[in-house]
Amino acid sequence: MAPREAPRGLIVDLVTPLRDDLTIDAKGLEMLLARVSPHAQGLLLAGPRGGEGAKLNEDQRRMLLEETLSMTCAELPLFVWITGSSVSETRHTLTLLSETVERKSFPALSLFWVDTPLYYHSNRGLEAHFRELARITGHPFILHNDPVRVSTLGRPLKRKNIRTEILKDLCGLEFIAGMIYEGTPERSRHYLRAVRAGTRFRLYDGDEARFLDHPSRSGVVSLGANLAPGPWQKITASSLHLNGERKIYPDHLSQLWETGRYLHDLAVLCRALPVSAIRQVLFKTGLFPPTQPTPPEGTQDAVGRLEELMRDHGDFPP
């Protein structure tokens, strides 16, 4: 497998559009892709947060990937979460989705399989595990470190984070292209030192609020970008100098500060809400057809604050 460099910038943690019967809402997906794709450097499909990947069955995952490939014509890098509850389930999902990609036949497709290995595997033997997974596919992997979710599994785990020493070994493999990081700032610094030698290795921030305060060099995976893709593109491009402009003028700096405050408040509200509530907000913006599952009771006040915040910044209809 030839080394493939993952993109720098804004990776949208795409909300999975669902109908009442929980099938993929193709029309809603098309509308959402039209909204976010012009502003993104990549899309995360069936992610564990926005995409609710752990709740999707194999038919839903396959259809989501098929529809996205057809609608984007593989013009945007795709990050696809493949993690299951066991090694065998993860291998099965990877095999199934790899066959889906091969049938679509996009020679220039930039695709990365995202895996949260500590969901089902210990740190011990991770390198050998990924070597086995790499035999199934010609596309590289992005690691996902998520100690909070791992801690909710109810299993007796010795560690909730990928060990720094293990990451050093993994980032040297040609089929490991990066990591989506969630965890403490201290561990983030350890990881940065571990991967510094591999300049092609991307370390994306999975915490939007932290990225806004201390931007990583690789980019951010953002759920809020479903709701405010333009502002998120603006902040990410400025933070990573994606447009080549390094000199910031006072009026532009003021605009960036206001945008950053907006996105920080948006991130806090989104983190506190179930994805079904965010899906409902997208429906109210006119993006999704009225076939989305109803969010749970008790979220109305937070949804109202979210809509008001978006309305104040032009991302929600008056």
Q: Which of 170, 173, 107, 174 is nearest to 144 (CA)?
A: 170
Q: Which of 226, 201, 54, 62 is nearest to 142 (CA)?
A: 201
**pLDDT for res 195:** 87
**pLDDT for res 146:** 95
Residue 108 pLDDT greater than 80, yes or no = no
Is residue 247 classed as helix, strand or coil in its secondary structure? coil
Regarding the domain delimited by 9-243, which CATH topology (the fold level of the hierarchy) does it fall under? TIM Barrel (3.20.20)
Strand partners, 45: 80
**pLDDT for res 197:** 61
Residue 123 pLDDT greater than 70, yes or no = yes
As a whole number, mean pLDDT of residues 5-18 equals 96
Q: Mind listing the pLDDT tens digit for each residue in 164-182?
A: 999 999 999 999 999 999 9
Element (H, E) at 220: strand 219-222
As a whole number, mean pLDDT of residues 125-131 equals 97
**pLDDT for res 49:** 96
Tokens (6 digits) for 282: 């997208």
Calculate the alpha carbon distances from 181 to 95, 112, 227, 298 in Å: 25, 16, 22, 30
CA distance 57 to 37: 25
Q: Which of 243, 241, 316, 235 is nearest to 281 (CA)?
A: 316
Domain residue spans of the chain: 9-243
Give the confidence band of 236 by pLDDT, cuts at 50, 70, 90. very high
CA distance 306 to 287: 16
CA distance 180 to 207: 9
Asked if 96 and 60 count as a contact pair (C-beta separation under 8 A), the reply is no
**pLDDT for res 196:** 75
**pLDDT for res 293:** 60
Residue 230 pLDDT greater than 70, yes or no = yes
Element (H, E) at 45: strand 42-45
Q: Which of 300, 310, 299 is nearest to 274 (CA)?
A: 299
**pLDDT for res 290:** 64
CA distance 221 to 276: 19
Pairwise pLDDT comparison (23 vs 13), residue with the higher score: 13
Q: Mind listing the pLDDT tens digit for each residue in 241-291?
A: 887 655 555 566 678 889 999 999 999 999 999 998 998 899 888 887 666
**pLDDT for res 46:** 98
Highest mean pLDDT among 19-28, 51-60, 107-116, 284-293: 51-60
Calculate the alpha carbon distances from 295 to 29, 207, 223, 277, 278 in Å: 19, 23, 17, 5, 8
Strand partners, 114: 81, 142
Give the confidence band of 156 by pLDDT, cuts at 50, 70, 90. low
